[in-house]
Structure 1
């Protein structure tokens, strides 16, 4: 094959197509949980977290909700993946040999949201959120009847963790902050020092993204045994969450996230028609089950 601008452009488009096809075929569990927030700066502060401007009967003047500033900031992180292809391999028309490599690159580029998101959730028992408490904690403060009331969104225990989320609202339990999504790039200019000195072309992807906690009221974490009783208690706790002022938030759990170790228990609770005791399973189909490998 003659190496010129046209053949290099065809090679780039071919590699990019293989990468993109593989990227799009990978299922994304994280997208079912996160709230995607585009960003135009290095970091973003989420001062509005913690406010629920609910609809109220209009009596007298409007009540203006000032968005509280908790100083909660998510800073972008850089990610990259880079490979090289020998000029000789392109000249010898051996590009098909590299298709599996670019396919794998596409699949791996899909993983940062999954790893960051579910890694964040897994560590939520020991990581702070917007109100200064751990995301999953026993003492989140809310104001009720002009008094501070401490609210729990967790169950203590020593077993594998499992999580309930309400993902039905515009605001989500987790924020996916994206400054630059994964972009496929190539370095093929013959005047480039790397091409000249090393006789190779370089291809790669880069992204500037990060994950952070959203509203703890839309999440519940447990390390207690995953039983029907504990599942029911977690659902009831979430549905009783209130905003400042004591008004119910209308939380309704929609997603159950478990590690592979709890798959059997989770499927029994959400999928079985009959309980082990022979009765009707009242919890069947009450949440979507997600089993990512990154919460183990």
Structure 2
């Protein structure tokens, strides 16, 4: 039977942290493909600039300075945690190897946590508001006649989803991820940190005969520009794909300036992966007109 000492517990923590970090480093993620990471230093960030698409003008006279649009779109950071307890008796019996997979799984979960936030946010885009006060995927995004956000309003649609058929027809998404700000914002206040409570006189050791280990993080997600995303639950065919591209590429900023949207990523749930591959991969005869027109990303988080 091993004598449980502070030095032994700390040595075990070094091993557990190695298991955690190895799994963390080896876990693949996709959220960076559709989300921009924004560092946060406070409880929340306000993105007043989301109402603007910067543009150049001929420099005649003084510079024209645009105020940040007062949309007041804020993302409030949330706290996240995952914890594991290790029985003191398992340390005494030299049976700690059974915990290595748990710490590895904790590392995997910590690395993939942004994926679990970013992709489901798109699914919630029909009911979750973006910077203009409308749902991210909506029929009534306002675009103004004048560049300063005044004048007549044109209502713009960025989806082709039959909501009545939504439960049975899977939704696919066409995105422009080439901009500095992608369709989703991942706001990071605190990256995952693994900590421990391993003092021999800790209350949990005294009361429950166990040592505690945990990882915590602070972050949240929100929407960027709705113009960079289009959703559809029409069949994923060349015809509907072309319609989605055309709708995005016709987008204009306030004042009528073309936004030069370049759809470059097709995001699908697993049920549409085969259709997506057929659409975007060049066929044997070279007859697929949309081959290589976008990157295909399949996400299990869209199920």
State the TM-score, normalizing by the size of structure 1: 0.94
Shift of 1:279: 6.3
1:153 corresponds to 2:158:
yes
Aligned positions, number: 293
Alignment check: 8 A CA contact 1:53 1:65 kept: no
Q: Which region of structure 1 is more displaced relative to structure 2, 178-187 or 106-115?
A: 106-115
Give the match's secondary structure for 2:193. strand
Deviation at 1:102, TM superposition (A): 1.1
* 1:2 Cα deviation from its structure 2 partner: 3.8
Over the aligned positions, Cα root-mean-square deviation in angstroms equals 1.5
Correspondence 1:51-90 to 2 at 5 A: 51-90=52-91
For 1:236, the equivalent position in structure 2 comes to 246
1:190 lines up with 2:200 in the alignment? yes
- Worse overlay, 45-54 or 106-115: 106-115
Deviation at 1:175, TM superposition (A): 0.6
CA contact (8 A) 2:171 2:269 kept: yes
Question: Paired residue for 1:170, among 176, 180, 183?
Answer: 180
Name the counterpart of 2:117.
116
Gaps of 5+ in 2: none
Deviations 1:224-281 (A, max 9, x none): 111111111111211221111111112111111111111111111111425xxx6611
Q: Distance in 2 between matches of 1:55 and 1:234?
A: 28
Find the counterpart in structure 2 of residue 286 from structure 1. Answer: 293
Match of 2:232 among 212, 222, 228: 222
Counterparts of 2:60 and 2:152, CA distance in 1 = 24
Q: Distance in 2 between matches of 1:285 and 1:95?
A: 50
Q: TM-score, normalised by structure 2?
A: 0.92
Q: What's 2:217 paired with?
A: 207
In 2, the alpha carbon distance for the partners of 1:220 and 1:36 equals 21
- Provide, for residues 94-142 of structure 1, a one-character-per-residue CA deviation record: whole Å limited to 9, x for no partner: 2222111111111122332112111110111222111011101122111
Equivalents in 1 of 2:107, 2:186: separation in Å?
A: 19
